[in-house]
């Protein structure tokens, strides 16, 4: 059977599939559930310094080829969320702490606290498309991206991943800025800003209006971003956006990813998600004569 193990910035993963932030990340129990169901690692929900209620309902709508969500980064704050970490860490696999803030100082403070909770790595949310003054509004600027990344790197001793927004003129420029700030890996991509209209009420479906589009419809965007980043930086890449099958995973790996984050699919397949993806990827590798998932990374660039 093909070898699915990969290494991302020193994190040894038994397969390339990671639970994305925002899905099953509300409690330590749900994070542990994903790990026991075959996820190689999990990313917590994005957590800030203070409690945040999020946006009014409805916060999610199904659309062709995916979902639009507008949660608004609801979370109990870093102090309360720490209580969830003991259970999340119990399965003994990597837990990655996702954090968001408005300033480099806030990110650094959150990073130090997450490190004390025992996470294996951090993921900086510089890409949420629907939170004013947060997420993508910070991550669209190379200087801000570099400054926040550098502040977190100076504050902790664990790997720092930066999750990038696709809503930029050049994702390569943002990726280079994050790498210059010391990022140990980049995650591409987060959701795309989107909206659905209720044709009877003549108003946006979501309570906040706009949200983030995820699911199979954004996979080609994610693959293109990973491909571009692979040529621009020399840090590991984690592909995200629309991974639904083992062949989707293979496509991201060939574009340059080392591992994959999976979110929307988990809402449909639930506990079956990660073992099914691992089986499908293993079958794909065997059918093409590849011995490992690692051998696919960057293969699409061999003609460059």
Residue 162's CATH number: 3.20.20.70
Percent of the chain with pLDDT over 90: 91
pLDDT for 304: 63
Q: Lowest-confidence range among 2-6, 23-27, 81-85, 91-95?
A: 23-27
Domain residues for the domain of 222 are: 6-301
- Domain assignment present for residue 128? The answer is yes
Residue 162 domain-assigned (yes or no): yes
Whether residue 225 lies inside any domain: the answer is yes
What domain count does the chain have? Answer: 1
Residue 303 has pLDDT above 80, yes or no: no
pLDDT attached to residue 159: 99
Flag whether 290 is in a domain.
yes
In a domain, 1, yes or no: no
Catalytic positions are: 128
Please determine, for residue 1, whether its predicted confidence score (pLDDT) is greater than 80: no
* Position 261 in a domain: yes
Task: Tell me if 260 sits within 8 A of 18, measured CB to CB.
Answer: yes
Please enumerate in sequence order all residues whose Cβ is within 8 A of that of 248, keeping only pairs 6 or more positions apart, or say none.
216, 219, 242
pLDDT tens digits along 175-229: 999 999 999 999 999 999 999 999 999 999 999 999 999 999 999 999 999 999 9
Query: What integer is the mean pLDDT of 152-170?
Result: 98
For residue 42, is it within any domain?
yes
Kindly state the DSSP code that residue 292 receives in the 8-state scheme: B
Sign, CA torsion 242/245/246/248: negative
The stretches of the chain forming alpha helices (DSSP H) are 28-36, 78-89, 104-117, 136-139, 142-155, 171-180, 219-232, 246-255, 264-269, 273-288
Using N-to-C axis directions, what is the helix angle for 78-89 and 28-36, rounded to 10°? 30
pLDDT of the residue at 302: 84
């Amino acid at each position: 059977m093909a070898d699915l193990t990969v290494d991302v910035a020193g994190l040894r993963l038994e397969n390339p599939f990671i639970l994305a932030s925002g899905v099953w990340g509300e409690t330590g129990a749900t994070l542990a559930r994903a790990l026991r169901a075959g996820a190689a690692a999990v990313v917590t929900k994005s957590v800030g310094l203070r409690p945040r209620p999020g946006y009014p309902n409805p916060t999610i709508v199904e659309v062709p080829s995916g979902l639009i969500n507008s949660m608004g980064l609801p979370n109990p704050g870093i102090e309360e969320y720490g209580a969830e970490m003991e259970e999340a860490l119990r399965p003994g696999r990597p837990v990655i702490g996702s954090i968001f803030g408005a300033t480099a100082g806030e990110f650094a403070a959150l990073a130090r606290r997450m490190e004390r909770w025992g996470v294996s790595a951090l993921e900086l949310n510089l890409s949420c498309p629907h939170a004013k003054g947060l997420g993508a509004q910070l991550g669209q600027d190379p200087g801000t991206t570099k400054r926040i990344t550098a502040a977190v790197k100076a504050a902790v001793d664990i790997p720092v991943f930066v999750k990038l927004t696709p809503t930029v003129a050049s994702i390569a420029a943002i990726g280079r800025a994050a790498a210059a700030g010391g990022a140990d890996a980049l995650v591409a991509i987060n959701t795309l800003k989107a909206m659905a209209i209720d044709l009877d009420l003549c108003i946006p479906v979501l309570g906040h209006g706009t949200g983030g589009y995820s699911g199979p419809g954004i996979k080609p965007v994610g693959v293109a971003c990973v491909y571009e980043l692979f040529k621009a930086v020399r840090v590991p890449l984690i592909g995200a956006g629309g991974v639904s099958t083992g062949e989707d995973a293979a496509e991201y790996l060939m574009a340059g990813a080392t591992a994959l984050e999976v979110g929307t699919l988990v809402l449909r397949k639930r506990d079956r998600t990660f073992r099914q993806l691992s089986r499908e990827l293993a079958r794909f590798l065997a059918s093409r004569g590849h011995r490992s998932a690692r051998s696919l990374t960057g293969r699409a660039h061999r003609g460059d």
